[in-house]
Each structure stands twice: as C-alpha cells, then as structure tokens.
Amino acid sequence: MSLQQAPQSRVFVELVPWADRGRENNVVSGGESLPGLRRPLASAQTQTATREVHVSGTADVSASPDRAQVAVLVSSTKEAAAEAKKSVCRRLDYITQSLRQQGLQAENVTVTKDFRRVENAYHMEAEVCITFTEFEKMQNICNFLIEKLDSSVVISQPQFYHTPGSVENLRRKACLVAVENAWRKAQEVCNLVGQTLGKPLLIKEEETKEWEGQIDDLQSSRLSSSLTVQQKIKSATIHAASKVFITFEVKGKEKKRKNL
C-alpha cells in the first residue's frame, strides 16, 4: 500500500541544523553504530550559513496640496485708449495694494497686461496670478476682493497643487514607513519563537504606487467647478504606497550569566 504524500508547507524561519564534526554515525553502547542514522556532514556552507527571517512590509501615506493659485482678471473696453488703461490700472493698483496689506510677498504675485484694439474701441486686460501657501488666507482675500470690486473683476477658482519637493518627500516617507513596519513584524516573530533579531541582510523595495484623490470619486472630480474648497483639497491630495521585502539575521537568545 502506497503512502500518501505529505502536503507541502512554507518555512517562515529556517534554522540551520548543528553538525557533529567528530562523528558521522550515532553510536550506541558497545561501540556499535546504527546504519542509516547519520548526522549531516559539516561543510563550508553549513558552517557559514546564517539563520534568517524573511518579512514584507507595506505602507500607505498621503499629503494634502501645499500650494494654491488664484487668478484675478481685470478688463476694460473704452473708445479712448487712455480711458481703458486708466480704468484697469486703477483697479489693479487697488488689488496689489490689498495683497501687500494682507502680507503677501511680491514673489508670490505675478501681473501680466494685454492691450489691443477691438473694432472701434480699445481693450485692456490685466491678470494677477497669486500663489498661496495658507488656504484660509486665500479664502479671506478672495472674499474681500469680491466684496470690494465690481463684476468686471473675475476671480478664478483656486487650483491646488504640490511642489516637487513635497512629492519626493512623500515617496521617501512611504518607503521608510514600510521598512519600519517590516522591522516590527520581524521583531515580533523573533520574540514569539524565543530568538533575537539581528541586522538586516537584504532590503528591497518591490512595489510603489501613486495616485491623486479618491479612486472611487472619479465622476465627481470631473465636475471640479461644483466642488467646495475642501473637496478640491481632498481631490488634489496625493497618496503613495510602498511594499518592501527584508531579510534579517536571526540570533539565539543570549543567556544571562549568574554571578557566583
């Protein structure tokens, strides 16, 4: 009758067996040896092999946008060129002065002007692009300008984005957190089996992912004009995921010496 084959199993922690260098056979009383019961021969591979634990770790981190840009458009059409320029410049000066009073730096404000002739009149446009790092201040300034200026001044919806440095920091953070999670897992495994976790022998980042906003919210993201400020921030939030594989050395528990 044939024996059933034992199901295969995965070894999580592999301990290299100790080899008896002095004798190959088990010796019983009387000097007789038992054939077939042999200890594994000592070899260079057995002597140098280390006990290892292999673990994987994952992490998912996110970062909200750290910049927002708003465009303020001022325009005027007059029969006389001087009148068109005067109308635009007067409101433009008021806008830039208000921004300075609110504490915005000059490097965060860009002004462009366009002057052209339209049929029998002159048309002038000025666009003020403002970059904000404080979103609450952005909302207060936009509300103030809407209240003080007439309908000829158009204020765009804020566009939220990330600086290149913040995205790179997010990628590094995802990898580091994944490594930390893998280390904690290996530490708990070694504690469970009565061993001591040693140094890492191999660290490999196997997979990375990045995405913006909520994956299940694509339909609402298309209607960006109908989103609130908080919804826009959530939609512009970047997520980064990392998966790492680490091999650690496993050491035996150190025995405490008793003082005689």
- Which domain does 155 fall in, by range? 67-161
Q: Which amino acid is at 205?
A: E
pLDDT at residue number 151: 80
Q: Are 255 and 77 in contact (CB under 8 A)?
A: no
Same domain, 167 and 62: yes
Question: Per the domain annotation, does 32 fall within a domain?
Answer: no
How many other CB atoms are found less than 10 A from the CB of residue 203? 15
Q: What percent of the chain has pLDDT over 90?
A: 60
Q: Is residue 30 predicted with pLDDT exceeding 90?
A: no
Q: In the block, which residue shows the tokens 């140094």?
A: 199
Question: Per the domain annotation, does 206 fall within a domain?
Answer: yes
Same domain, 191 and 74: no
pLDDT at residue number 15: 43
Q: Is residue 2 predicted with pLDDT exceeding 70?
A: no
Question: Per the domain annotation, does 111 fall within a domain?
Answer: yes
pLDDT in tens, 55-87: 999 999 999 999 999 999 999 999 999 999 999
Tokens of 169: 């920091």
Q: Is 53 helix (H, G, I), strand (E, B) or coil?
A: strand
Query: In terms of DSSP H, where are the helices of 79-163?
Result: 81-101, 135-148
β-bridge pairing 121-132 and 238-252: unpaired
pLDDT at residue number 226: 76
- The band of 223, judged by pLDDT with boundaries at 50, 70 and 90, is low
Longest dimension (CA), the chain: 124
Tokens of 247: 């091999």
Same domain, 134 and 196: no
Same domain, 179 and 57: yes
Same domain, 123 and 168: no
- The band of 6, judged by pLDDT with boundaries at 50, 70 and 90, is very low
Same domain, 172 and 60: yes
Question: Per the domain annotation, does 6 fall within a domain?
Answer: no
CATH of the domain at 206: 3.30.110.170
pLDDT at residue number 9: 37
CATH of the domain at 130: 3.30.70
Q: How many domains does the chain have?
A: 2
- The band of 168, judged by pLDDT with boundaries at 50, 70 and 90, is very high
Question: Per the domain annotation, does 4 fall within a domain?
Answer: no
- Please state whether the predicted TM-score (pTM) of the whole model is above 0.75: no
